Structure 1
C-alpha cells in the first residue's frame, strides 16, 4: 500500500517507519499544504503497522484537536484502508475510539483541554494531527509521556499558522538538530509540490489564489506554509511599520477633521 503514495509522502513514510522499526524514537514534523495528502499518509502507515504487529498487544496512538469531527475522520479513513487491504470483517472497533486488528490497536484521542487521556501508552507510533492547533501544555502533560517507556516515534502533522504554535516549536527544534547532525526530521511540501502530481489540485489552488490573493494569511499559511510572524496578530511587523507616521499622537478627535 505504501507504494501507492506520492513521492513526497513516501519520503516521509520511509523516515518515520525506519525510526519505528529500528526503535530510534525520532520526532518528526510534517507540513503538507492543505488537502495535500497528510491524512492518507497517516492512514497508510497505520495500516502497515497494524498488519505487521497484529499478533502483538501494542498500540499506536493518534490525537487531534477535536474528537468530532477530526479524530473520527481519521478513524474512517483507516477503516477504509483496512477494507481495501482485505481486512473487511477482520478488524474490529472498540469503545468508539479504538480500531483493532488482531491484538494490535490504533487508538484515536481528543487533545481538547477537557479530554481525559492520561494512562494510554504508545508502543509503535504517536501521531499529533493538526499540531499547530494543539495546546503546548496539553501535549507536554498528557501526550508526550505516552511514549516515555517505549521510546516511541512521534510525528507532528499540520500546516503553518504563527511562530508560537506547537508545530512551529517542534519544527524549529528539528531544523536545529538537522544543522548539527544532518539527519532530516522536518518535511515541508507546499502547494507547488502537491500540484506536480494532481492537476485538479493546481486548478483549485489557482482559483484560491485569485479569490484570496497570494498575500492573504490563509493562502500563505495553509498552502504556502509560511507562518505569520509576531504571534498571529492582525498586522505583521512590515504592515505595522507602514502604518507609522511622523504626526503627533492625538488623544481625541479634532473638530472638523477626519
Structure 2
C-alpha cells in the first residue's frame, strides 16, 4: 500500500546510509502497521545476513505484545522463499538469519533489559504505552554506541506519551525533503482499502465520532490526558423528545439502575462523615432503534424517572426498592453491589432472582470499562434525557435532571498510560454545587452509568442473555372492580 511504502522507504534509506535518524510512525488500528514492521524486519535481516548486525524491538509488554510481534515475524519469514530456509529462533526471543539477528524485549516498567545493542535498527512498538523514563534510562542507550536508526511505532493516545514526545521532536528536525513523521488516519487507509472504510463507519456509528477511542485509534487525534469528561457538546447529545413518566405504560420495557449510598466506587470523592449520602435510582425505558442500521448497536435508553434517597437506612431502602420494582416491573435491575451495596443486591436477588437482578461491583478496571461504554452510548445518541415540561407533578424530576447535568459538568477524567487504555473518572473531593453550595456527589451519574454494564450484555451481536419483558396478567387487572 502506498501509505506503507511512504514510511518504509525513508526508514530503509536511513538504515542503509547509517544516518542515525529518528522516525515516528502513527497508523490507525488495523491498518497494516504491524505487517509493515514484519516486512521491514524480514528485509533487513536478509540484507544484513552476510555483513551481520542487530535489530532490537521493544514492546510495552511481554505477553501478549512481544509474543504477537514474534509470531508475526515468524509468519513473514516462513512465507518469504528467500528467508524460509535460512532463519532460526534462538534463546526464546532472538531470531537469526545468517549473521543478522533481531531481539524482542519487553518495555514493561519492571523488566530488566539493559545490555542489548542495536546496530541496525532500534524499534519501539506501541510507543504510546512505553514509559518515557524507562525509554530514556534503559532503551535509548541501546542505540548510542552505533547511532542506529530509531523508529517509534504506535497509535494516538495522549499528549504526554513517549510517542507524542518523539513526534514533536522529529517534527522539529524534519524538512520537506527529509520527512521523519508519518501520521495517517482512517481516511488515508480508506482510499486504498474499501473494506476498512466500511469497518470504520460501523465503529463510528456504534461509538460516535467524538468518542475518545474513535478519535485516537482511528483518526490519529491526540487526546488531552485530563479534563472534563462530559463536554457541553456531549451533554447536548443526551437531549431526547420523550416525557417523564409517573406510572408504567403497557407493553414497554423498563430497566432500573441503582447506585447505593455509601458504596466504595474506587475513587477519592466518597462522602465524609456527616455529608450528604444518597442512593440514586434511574429508571429507563428501552426503546428499539428506528432503523435496521441503528439496530446493530442496540437499544435507545430513555430516562423516564429518577429518585434520590438521602441518609435512608438500608432496611428501608430495601423495602422501598422492593415496592418500586413490583410496581414498575422492570425487565432488569442493575444494582451497585460494592461495599454496603452488596447487602442491598443480596436482598433483591433473594426476592427477584438472578434473572432480573444484575449486581455490579466497582473496581478500578470495571469502572474504567463502564465509563468507556457509557461514553459510547452517549456519543451514539442512545442515552436520552426526557424533555422537561411545565407539569407540576414532574417538578422534582426536572430538579433531579438538572442535578444530574451539574454532576456531569463537574466530572473529571484522567487517561492512564499503558496498553489497558484505562481512565479514572469522577467528581473530585471538595467540588461544590454551583446552585446549592453543598458538596457535589456523583450518585446520579454513577446510577446512569450502570446502564453501560447491561447494554454491553444485551447489545446486538453480544453473547449476553436475551431480555425478557416480564408483564403481569392483563386479565387480573380487569378483575378489579367487578
Give TM-score scaled by structure 1 length. 0.88
- Which whole-Å deviations, capped at 9, do the CAs of 1:135-181 have from their partners, x for residues lacking one? 001111111000001010000011111111000001111122236x7
What's the counterpart of residue 409 of structure 2? 243
Select 2:101's aligned residue among 101, 105, 112: 105
Equivalent pairs counted in the alignment come to 246
What's the counterpart of residue 177 of structure 1? 173
Runs ≥4 in structure 1, deviation > 6 angstroms? 236-240
Of 194-203 and 45-54, more deviation after overlay is shown by 194-203
Alignment of 1:35-114 (within 5 A): 35-86=30-81, 87-114=83-110
Considering only aligned residues, what root-mean-square deviation do their CA atoms show, in Å?
2.4
Three-state SS of the structure 1 residue aligned to 2:169 is helix
Give yes or no for contact 1:162–1:232 (8 Å, CA) kept in 2.
no
Note closer, same or farther for the CA distance 1:252–1:156 as it changes in structure 2 (3 Å cut): closer
What's the counterpart of residue 20 of structure 2? 25
User: What is the Cα deviation at residue 183 of structure 1?
Assistant: 2.6
- Which whole-Å deviations, capped at 9, do the CAs of 1:72-110 have from their partners, x for residues lacking one? 111111111111112334211011101100111011000
Which one has a larger percent helix, Structure 1 or Structure 2? 1
Considering Cα pairs closer than 8 Å and 6+ residues apart, tell me whether 1 or 2 has the greater RCO: 1
Q: Distance in 2 between matches of 1:98 and 1:141?
A: 23
Give yes or no for contact 2:118–2:142 (8 Å, CA) kept in 1.
yes
Q: Distance in 1 between matches of 2:185 and 2:86?
A: 37
Q: Distance in 2 between matches of 1:112 and 1:70?
A: 11
Instruction: Find the structure with the greater CA-based Rg.
Output: 2
Three-state SS of the structure 2 residue aligned to 1:149 is coil
User: What is the Cα deviation at residue 65 of structure 1?
Assistant: 0.4
Note closer, same or farther for the CA distance 1:214–1:90 as it changes in structure 2 (3 Å cut): same
Select 1:125's aligned residue among 93, 118, 121: 121
